[in-house]
Structure 1
Amino acid sequence: MSPLASVCVCDDYFEVDDDGTLCLKAGTMGMRERLIFVTPGNFTFEKADYPWLVRIDVQVQGGGGGSAGADAAAGQCIARPGGGGGGYSRSLIEASALGAVEAIVVGAGGAAGVGNNPGGSGMASSFGGVVANGGDGGNAFMTSGTAPDAVNGAVGAPGGVGQYTSGGGGSGAALRVSGTAGISGAGGNSFFGFGGGGRGDPGAGLATRGRGGGAGGALSYGAAFNGNDGGGGMVMIDLYG
């Protein structure tokens, strides 16, 4: 009969529990799971659902701003700027610092403006105390006319709360050259998304891509067009064991 083999185990990564079972040490397993919340609304994270949890890396994206509608009189022009991009925040949190239940909020993008109404502001997203602000909606300052005019875009969302924070991108300005020539503004970019494009032909505001971008502005040469909704926010949690 062959002698029993001798096995050595690295104690940097393994330990033997009280029952004699060889186990990986907590904190050495790396990322084990990723949770992504993109539906606007309220959710919860319960630490007890993950008994192996050592820390989390949480990234939070705020909602982008919507763009204004445009309804110029016949033979006239209205150009709208885009909505502002939502902010971004990130924190690495030890499991011992988490509450038993942490609140999660996914902020909706701002609503599209109808008629000559401004776009709505994006809503903030959060995980516990980690907060990313929403972007401002596109304004409706330009009135119907034929004379040259220009209006500023929306300022991007300010930095929120977290170990690392970043504001959202500002949106493009809108320009009217005459009653038949103008350019609407592009929406502001975000960490996880792009704003809707500007336009030189008449039409509704253009949609965002990804998460948290601002909507592109509408352009009217005598017909009514709505703005567009800003991109919704997101909360992404990487769980480490």
Structure 2
Amino acid sequence: MSPVANVCACGEYFHVDDTGELCLNKGTMGLRRMVQFSTPGTAKFRKADYPWLARVRVKVQAGGGGSAGADAAAKQLIARPGGSGGGYAESLIEVGALADVESVVIGAGGAGGIGNNPGAPGGASSFGGTVTAIGGNPGTDGMTSGTSNTTSNGISAPSSGAGQITSGGGPGEGALRMAMRGMSGRGGDSWLGFGGYGRTTSGPGGTSRGRGGGAGGAFSSDGKSYDGGAGGNGIVIIELFG
């Protein structure tokens, strides 16, 4: 008769189930999966879809602010500031604190302004009612067409939302004009993205990179009209721990 082997296992990490199989204890398996909600709008997270779930780390990025459009008169100039980046929030949540179904909101980037109109604010993003991030502020349309030396203030960052870690996003940079030369403002960065570029020649607002960055400002000279840029869309990332 062959000898029976004895196996010792740490009870903190393992248990023997009813069938005699050695299994990992729930809550000790670490990161098992990551779920992303990236399309602007609303979605649902159902914890029953993951029966092994022990806790989640939720990362919530709001949308960035759009920049204003610019339409200068002939032989005149307009430069616009950039929109600010969207806010960010993060929390680690035990499975027992989750509702059976949690609502997820993904904020869209703010639209760019048309003509001499301001941009739109970025949309807020959230997970349930506990982790929220505020959308970026839009670029303004304060500079009128002309050639006099002037500036437009930068755009303040949004305030912090709610969560264990929160950030308000980066401010949009200001714009300036010196006769027929100038510079539009760069968009504010976000936790998960970068703002659109500023420019010194005519063109639309610069496009952001990543998620939640503010749009760069539009620049118009000598009767050429350009729309503002759109801010970057937000995202909600859920890391699932078993």
State TM-score, norm by structure 1: 0.98
Number of equivalenced pairs: 240
Deviates more, 1:11-20 or 1:143-152: 11-20
Deviations 1:28-84 (Å, cap 9, x if unpaired)?
100111001111010000011011111000000010000110000000000000001
Residue by residue over 1:96-135, the C-alpha shift from the partner in whole angstroms, topping out at 9 and shown as x without a partner, is 0000000000000000111000000000000012100000
1:218 maps to a residue whose letter is: A
Q: What does residue 164 of structure 1 align with?
A: 165
> Which residue pairs with 1:173 in the alignment?
174
1:232 pairs with 2:236? no
- Residue 95 of structure 1 corresponds to 95
List per-residue Cα deviations over 1:194-217 (Å, max 9, x = no partner): 000100111111100000000000
Report the alpha carbon displacement of residue 10 of structure 1 after superposing the two structures with TM. 1.8
Q: Percent identity?
A: 60
User: Partner of 1:104 in structure 2?
Assistant: 104
The match for 1:185 is: 185
Which residue of structure 2 lines up, in the alignment, with residue 136 of structure 1?
A: 137
Cα distance in 2, alignment partners of residues 233 and 15 from structure 1: 41
**Residue deviations 1:138-169, cap 9 Å, x none?**
00010001101101121112100111111110
> Residue type matched to 2:148 in 1?
A
Counterpart code for 1:228: G
Indicate yes or no: 2:27 matched with 1:27: yes
For residues 4 and 99 of structure 1, the distance between their equivalents in structure 2, rounded to whole angstroms, comes to 47
Distance 1:55 1:25 in 2: 14
Deviation at 1:9, TM superposition (A): 1.6
| Aligned match of 1:15 | 15
Residue of structure 2 in register with 1:153 after alignment: 154
Counterpart in the other structure of 1:76:
76
Q: For residue 155 of structure 2, what is the amino acid of its counterpart?
A: A
Whole-angstrom CA distance in 1 between matches of 2:158 and 2:18: 53
Q: Distance in 2 between matches of 1:203 and 1:163?
A: 40
Rounded Cα–Cα distance in structure 2 between residues aligned with 1:7 and 1:16: 12
Q: Residue 20 of structure 1: CA displacement?
A: 2.7
Corresponding residue for residue 200 of structure 2: 200
Deviation of the 1:2 alpha carbon: 3.5
Runs of 4 or more above 3 Å deviation: none
State the Cα distance separating 1:5 from its structure 2 match. Answer: 1.9
Unaligned runs of 5+ in 2: none
Deviation at 1:4, TM superposition (A): 2.3
1:66 aligns with 2:78: no
SS in 1 for 2:96: helix
* Deviation string, structure 1 residues 166-203 (Cα, Å, up to 9, x no partner): 1110011000101x201000000000000001001111
SS of alignment partner, residue 48 of structure 2: helix
Between 138-147 and 14-23, the greater mean CA deviation after superposition: 14-23
TM alignment of 1:205-216, pairs within 5 A: 205-216=205-216
Distance 2:20 2:4 in 1: 18
One-letter code aligned to 1:90: E
Paired residue type of 2:50: Y
CA RMSD in angstroms comes to 0.9
